[in-house]
């Protein structure tokens, strides 16, 4: 086991080599997280996969070209430029196939990925037989060399990260609209194609610099996982991007540190796993779209809907007779409620039990009937009123047929807020029936009884 002092050394970046690796992966995680956010919202997450595979032929070709021209085949800038060029060509090919043929997105990405990667392998195969130099080292361009990064990697990464952050800040508004409504952006007269290409170029830059530093799988994971994790926490693009960059950076930091003080732990793999852990935790407890929050919200909505359905059913049954506050008239037989909606006995009993606990209904005697309390009656009137207001609004302003309006209103009325009801009331001044709080139903109430 590593000593505490070692752990401190690593986490506080005291060792030069570790410091370089950890800072590089952190930077890369931030930049990738940021770009991944845009990719995720454009539903193009796997573009990073395609892009990173499509760089291989560029690496090989630029090596051959450089050697043929008498230069140094392994100079980093030349290889990077070559990689970027074929990467962009690959992306363009995906877009071309998708737009010009009946082939779908996924197949287009798969085709470009495999064909370009195959071409890259063939080119590397040729290089291996060249007398000028072995292809050794070129492969690490794809697999990365996380543990042995050098100062020049750091400089390039810093440069790219700064570029990416600056561009995202300057063009935030444009990129946001591009992500959410491309056609609207085009209608506004924005250069959508140019923005799209700029975004792709930024992603290519991040991918290419990252590839030779940390390898293909880690780059793909960095482009997808932090963004997907951040999405669970917020619906705001700016917050999501910041969070995604933070998660990316944190996974880089934690993963690289872990692999530094535990032997035989490949940094790239550990970072991917740390990011995946972030994702799983976010998916479970994310406050905006996490599984638990959504489950809670759904069950609450279900309960509220059940309660409102029950109250409205009771109100509508009572409405037929003389609706006063006298007790004996507020009693409704169970059988009659049962006929109002398609609900099962257990469901209905459950709703009634809940309403009883909330003091909305009472069981007056042993007979199968229930009694609406005064509070219950008030809320039932409120619920019915909201429902009818919404129905009238639909008839008047949304051209929904009166025969259908009951069902349509049913879908929305449970989420009507106080403000919305006031606005409906103002719109529907004319329908406010004089004297009564609850307007008349705009359609015959179906004879369930």
Partner 1 sequence: MEWYSIDTWIVVIGALAAGACALLGNFLVLRKMSMMGDAISHAVLPGLAIAFLVTGARASLSMFIGAAIVGVLTAVFTQWISRFGKVDEGASMGIVFTTLFALGLLLIVQGADHVDLDPSCVLYGAIELTPLDVVWRPTLFGYFIEVPRAALVLVGVALLNTVFVVAFFKELRISSFDAELATAMGIHSKLMHYLLMSLVAVTTVACFEAVGSIIVIAMLIVPAATAHLLTDRLWLMVVLSVLIAIVSAVLGHLSALILPACFGFADTSTSGMMAVMAGLIFSTVVLFAPKYGVLPRLVRKTEAVR
Angle between helices 418-427 and 374-397 (to 10 degrees): 50
List the structure tokens of 343.
């609900």
| Cα separation, 179 vs 36, whole angstroms | 12
Does 283 contact partner 1 by CB under 8 A? yes
Q: Pick from 126, 136, 162, 281: which binds partner 1 (CB under 8 A)?
A: 126
Listed in sequence order, the residues at least 6 apart from 16 whose beta carbon sits closer than 8 Å to its beta carbon are none
Q: Pick from 1, 102, 345, 366: which binds partner 1 (CB under 8 A)?
A: 102
Nearer CB in complex with partner 1: 217/242: 217
Do residues 399 and 414 touch, judged by C-beta distance below 8 A? no
CA 78-80-85 angle, 5° bins: 100
Only segment of 82-90, 96-104, 375-383, 388-396 that touches partner 1 (CB under 8 A)? 96-104
Only segment of 108-116, 173-181, 182-190, 304-312 that touches partner 1 (CB under 8 A)? 108-116
Q: Compute the residue count for the chain.
A: 449
What is the CB-side half-sphere exposure of residue 234 using CA atoms within 13 A? Answer: 12
Q: Pick from 5, 16, 69, 100: which binds partner 1 (CB under 8 A)?
A: 100
Nearer CB in complex with partner 1: 92/283: 283
Nearer CB in complex with partner 1: 45/382: 45
Listed in sequence order, the residues at least 6 apart from 1 whose beta carbon sits closer than 8 Å to its beta carbon are none
- Nearest Cα neighbor of 24 from 206, 198, 168 is 206
Phi, psi of 11 (to 5 degrees): -65, -35
How many residues contact partner 1, by CB under 8 A? 62
Does 117 contact partner 1 by CB under 8 A? yes
| Cα separation, 443 vs 403, whole angstroms | 7
- Nearest Cα neighbor of 142 from 121, 165, 126, 125 is 121
Residue identified by tokens 């793999």 is: 269
Q: Pick from 2, 8, 14, 43: which binds partner 1 (CB under 8 A)?
A: 43
Q: Pick from 228, 254, 360, 381: which binds partner 1 (CB under 8 A)?
A: 228
Only segment of 36-44, 73-81, 147-155, 298-306 that touches partner 1 (CB under 8 A)? 36-44
Site string for partner 1, 247-276 (x = CB under 8 A): -----------------xxx-xxx-xx--x
Does 129 contact partner 1 by CB under 8 A? yes
Does 120 contact partner 1 by CB under 8 A? yes
Q: What are the start-end ranges of the H helices in 321-360?
A: 334-338, 345-357
Does 221 contact partner 1 by CB under 8 A? yes
| Cα separation, 395 vs 405, whole angstroms | 7
Does 121 contact partner 1 by CB under 8 A? yes
Using DSSP, state whether 439 is helix, strand or coil. Answer: coil
Only segment of 22-30, 101-109, 411-419, 432-440 that touches partner 1 (CB under 8 A)? 101-109
Residue 16 Cβ vs partner 1, minimum distance, rounded to whole Å: 24
Using DSSP, state whether 361 is helix, strand or coil. Answer: strand
Does 104 contact partner 1 by CB under 8 A? yes
Q: Pick from 33, 48, 58, 210: which binds partner 1 (CB under 8 A)?
A: 48
Q: Pick from 224, 247, 370, 383: which binds partner 1 (CB under 8 A)?
A: 224
CA 48-238-84 angle, 5° bins: 25
Which stretches of the chain bind partner 1, using CB under 8 A?
40, 43-46, 48-49, 97, 100-107, 109-111, 113-126, 129-130, 139, 143, 217-218, 220-221, 223-225, 227-228, 231-232, 264-266, 268-270, 272-273, 276, 279, 283, 289, 291, 294
């Amino acid at each position: 086991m590593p000593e505490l002092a070692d752990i401190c050394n690593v986490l506080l970046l005291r060792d030069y080599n570790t410091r370089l690796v950890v800072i590089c992966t952190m930077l890369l995680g931030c930049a990738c997280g940021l770009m991944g956010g845009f990719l995720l919202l454009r539903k193009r997450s796997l573009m990073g996969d395609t892009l990173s595979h499509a760089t291989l032929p560029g690496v090989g070709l630029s090596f051959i070209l450089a050697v043929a021209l008498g230069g140094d085949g392994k100079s980093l800038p030349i290889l990077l430029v070559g990689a970027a060029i074929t990467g962009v060509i690959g992306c363009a090919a995906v877009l071309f196939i998708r737009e010009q043929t009946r082939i779908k997105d996924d197949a287009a990405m798969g085709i470009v990925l495999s064909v370009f990667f195959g071409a890259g392998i063939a080119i590397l195969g040729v290089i291996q037989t060249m007398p000028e130099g072995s292809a050794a080292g070129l492969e690490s361009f794809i697999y990365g060399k996380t543990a042995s990064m050098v100062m020049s990697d750091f400089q390039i990464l810093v440069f790219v990260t700064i570029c990416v952050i600056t561009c995202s800040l300057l063009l935030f508004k444009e990129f946001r609209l591009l992500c959410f409504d491309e056609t609207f952006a085009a209608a506004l007269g924005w250069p959508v194609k140019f923005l799209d290409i700029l975004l792709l170029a930024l992603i290519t830059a991040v991918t290419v610099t990252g590839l030779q530093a940390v390898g293909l799988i880690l780059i793909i994971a960095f482009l997808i996982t932090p963004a997907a994790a951040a999405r669970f926490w917020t619906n705001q693009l700016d917050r999501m991007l910041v969070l995604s960059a933070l998660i990316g950076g944190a996974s880089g930091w934690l993963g690289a540190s872990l692999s530094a003080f535990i032997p035989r732990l490949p940094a790239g793999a550990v970072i991917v796993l740390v990011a995946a852990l972030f994702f799983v935790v976010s998916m479970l407890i994310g406050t905006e779209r996490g599984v638990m929050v959504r489950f809670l919200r759904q069950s609450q909505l279900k309960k509220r809907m059940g309660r409102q359905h029950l109250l409205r059913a009771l109100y509508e049954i009572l409405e037929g007779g003389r609706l006063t506050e006298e007790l004996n008239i507020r009693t409704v037989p169970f059988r009659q409620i049962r006929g109002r909606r398609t609900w099962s006995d257990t469901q209905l009993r459950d709703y009634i039990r809940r309403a009883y606990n909330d003091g909305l209904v009472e069981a007056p005697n042993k007979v199968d009937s229930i009694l609406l309390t005064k509070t219950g009656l008030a809320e039932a009137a409120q619920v019915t009123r909201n429902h009818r207001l919404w129905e009238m609004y639909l008839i008047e302003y949304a051209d929904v047929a009166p025969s259908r309006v009951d069902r349509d209103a049913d879908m929305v009325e449970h989420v009507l807020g106080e403000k919305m009801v006031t606005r409906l009331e103002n719109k529907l001044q004319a329908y406010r029936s004089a004297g009564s709080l609850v307007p008349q139903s705009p359609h015959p109430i179906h004879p369930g009884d």
